[in-house]
Structure 1
Amino acid sequence: MNEEPLVNPEVVSMVGDWKGYVEAKLGFRNHWYPVRFSKELGEGQLEVIELLGERLLLKRIEGKVYAMRDRCLHRGVPLSKKPDCYTKDTITCWYHGYTYRFQTGELVNILAVPESKLINRRKIVTYPATEAKGLIFVFLGDADELHDLAKDVPPGFLDDDVMILGKHRVVNSNWRLGAENGFDALHIFIHKDTTLRHFRTFNFPIGHTPLPGAVQLIEEEDGPKGVMDDFAQHKPVWDGVIDGEIVVSGPRSAQVQGTSASVGTSIWLPGVLKVDSFPTGGLTQFEWYVPLDADRHLYVQTIGKHCPTPADEVNFANEFEATWKPHALDGFNGDDIWAREVTEPFYADDYGWVDEMLCEPDETILAWRRLASRHGRGIQQKIDLR
Structure 2
Amino acid sequence: MVSPSHDSLSRRDVTRAAVAIGGSAALSACLERADEPADVPHGPEDLSTLPARQHAWNDALATDEYGNHLAPRHRVLILFDYARDGAPSDADRETVENAFRTLERAYERSHDGLLCTMSYSPSYFARFDESLPDSVDLREPEALAPFEDPELDRPDAVVHLASDHGSVVLAAEEALRGELDELNGVSVDATFDGVFERVDRRTGFVGEGLPAENQDVSDVPDSKPVPEDAPMYMGFKSGFEKNQASEERVTIQAGPFAGGTTQQLSLLRLTLHQWYEQDTRDQRVATMFCPAHAADDRVEGAGHSLGNSSGLGNCPAHAGDDARTEGAVGHAQKAARAREDDSPLLLRRDFDSTDDDRATLHFLSLQRSIGDFVDTRQAMNGTDLAETSAVGQRLNNGILQYVTVERRGNFLLPPRALRALPTPTPDANRTRSD
Using the size of structure 2 for normalisation, the TM-score is 0.28
Q: Would you tell me which structure has more strand in proportion to its own residues? A: 1
**Whose radius of gyration is greater, 1 or 2?**
1
